Amino acid sequence: MNRLTRIHRTIVLGACALGLAAGVGVVARTADPRVAHATPFAPGSTDISDAAERVVDSVVNISTTQATTTGPFASDPFWNDPGSPFFGDGDPRKAQSLGSGVIVTSDGRVLTNAHVVNNAATIKVTLRDGVELDARLVGSDPRSDVAVLQLVPAQGSKLPALKPITIGDSSKLRLGEVVLAVGNPFGVGQAVTMGIVSAVGRASVGIEDYEDFIQTDAAINPGNSGGALVDLRGHLVGINTAILSRTGGYQGIGFAIPTDMAKPIMDMLVKDGRVSRGYLGVGLAALDQQARAQLGIKAKTGVVVASVGADTPASKAGLVAGDVVTAIDGQSVREVGKLRNLVAVRGAGKVSKLDIVRGTATRTIEVTLGELPDQRVRTRVRRP
């Protein structure tokens, strides 16, 4: 089985299925009078219970409806082709999905996954105490799977008191560090699971166009999409987004978008409604034994510049094919995906310093990044 066929969105089971989502949605929206709210958190505490209680009120349930066409002709191209005179003649219905989100500001900004709210006609957010609010989409970036919502108070009223989570520094995560995943698995209600950081910087998994995942063995299941990955200080370090599974359920490998990637994307979506990514204009290749032998490269680590586009930021800065990029702005790079992400997140117009090896010589080149041209998002296998 191809690796991509084993990638399941955490939203797949119990979230996108029409009947199941509708069935469990009532449970997720039912307030439980026995729910305990967060207790005062001792600064510097690393107790698991303290961390869990500090963040649970910041994690919400997200339910959406999408207009869909179902029925006996749903797969017929005459009904699905917008150019067909029969387009839209099927039975219009509402599909429902469930996911999670994280409150990041006191005025109601919520961070979640783009795929949780993709094509949503309506968005409802349920707080931990059962209060349900409408939400509007501020912006969505499918290429990184990040979306931002804004909670909307009922007409003539104000938002209830909200508890925003503290956004942490995901770059300081260490292998083996204990983390908690908080979300709404299978739509049955909020749950907290525990695990460790299995890996960081997973940039070539093949789920998104731009990846820099935290890998964890904390149990992440369908419905956890958009939920929080937190450290033992109760700080948000990632947004849970996907699992690697043969069955669609938890099998020990989950992925979260690190806050160091999600936060700048969120800020751009809030400010401009879109994401402007940096652009270098090169083709990149892994620095493996074959590349070293063919190109006579002496560098031990880095990323090979396989080609340089004409009239691009890279060509103007003097990069040439065969250069090996070892660092950008002092941050070392070992993988193609990592360098691609670092360039993208810096944004257009940023002046960056590239440490390169050319033959046996090392040098630093300054490059003014351009803006990545719009490109169609790759279509990937979402289900087995």
Token pair belonging to 292: 């070293």
Q: What is the pLDDT of residue 58?
A: 94
Residue 111 lies in a domain: yes
| Whether residues 180 and 147 fall in one domain | yes
Q: In this predicted model, what pLDDT tens digit does every residue of 309-329 receive, in sequence order?
A: 999 999 999 999 989 999 999
Give the C-alpha separation, 142 to 165, whole Å.
23
Tell the burial category of 93 from Cβ atoms under 10 Å away from its Cβ (0-12, 13-18, 19+). Answer: middle
Highest mean pLDDT, choosing among 138-152, 186-200, 248-262, 370-384: 138-152
Give the C-alpha separation, 292 to 157, whole Å.
65
Number of domains the chain contains: 2
| Structural domain for 340, as ranges | 278-371
| Whether residues 208 and 147 fall in one domain | yes
Q: What is the CATH number of the domain that holds 7?
A: 2.40.10.120
| Whether residues 253 and 291 fall in one domain | no
pTM: 0.71
Q: Over 90: is that where the pLDDT of 197 sits?
A: yes
Give the C-alpha separation, 166 to 236, whole Å.
6
Give the C-alpha separation, 12 to 2, whole Å.
18
User: pLDDT tier at 212 (50, 70, 90 boundaries)?
Assistant: confident
Active-site amino acid positions = 115, 145, 225
**Which of 202, 215, 208, 200 shows the shortest CA–CA distance to 252?**
215
| Whether residues 212 and 258 fall in one domain | yes
Instruction: Name which of 119-123, 198-202, 225-229, 232-236 the model is least confident about.
Output: 198-202
Of the three residues 275, 310, 325, the one that is the final residue of a domain is 275
| Whether residues 14 and 156 fall in one domain | yes
**Mean pLDDT, to the nearest integer, of 72-99?**
53
**Mean pLDDT, to the nearest integer, of 148-173?**
92
Of the three residues 252, 275, 298, the one that is the final residue of a domain is 275
| Whether residues 290 and 257 fall in one domain | no
User: pLDDT tier at 353 (50, 70, 90 boundaries)?
Assistant: very high
Q: What is the pLDDT of residue 19?
A: 31
What is the Cα gyration radius of the chain?
22
Q: Over 70: is that where the pLDDT of 303 sits?
A: yes
What is the overall mean pLDDT for the chain? 78
Give the C-alpha separation, 184 to 272, whole Å.
30
| Whether residues 240 and 347 fall in one domain | no
Residue 126 lies in a domain: yes
Of the three residues 223, 240, 275, the one that is the final residue of a domain is 275
| Whether residues 73 and 208 fall in one domain | yes
Handedness of CA 111, 197, 183, 204 (dihedral sign): positive
Residue 380 lies in a domain: no
**Mean pLDDT, to the nearest integer, of 17-46?**
36
| Whether residues 81 and 202 fall in one domain | yes
Residue 378 lies in a domain: no
Instruction: Name which of 6-15, 104-113, 230-239 the model is least confident about.
Output: 6-15
DSSP per-residue letters across 99-112: EEEEE-STT-EEEE
| Whether residues 7 and 118 fall in one domain | yes
Residue 384 lies in a domain: no
| Whether residues 269 and 294 fall in one domain | no
Q: What is the CATH number of the domain that holds 288?
A: 2.30.42.10
| Whether residues 59 and 118 fall in one domain | yes
**Mean pLDDT, to the nearest integer, of 125-146?**
92
Q: Over 90: is that where the pLDDT of 344 sits?
A: no
Q: Which residues pair with 125 in a beta bridge?
A: 62, 133
Residue 206 lies in a domain: yes
Q: Over 80: is that where the pLDDT of 298 sits?
A: no
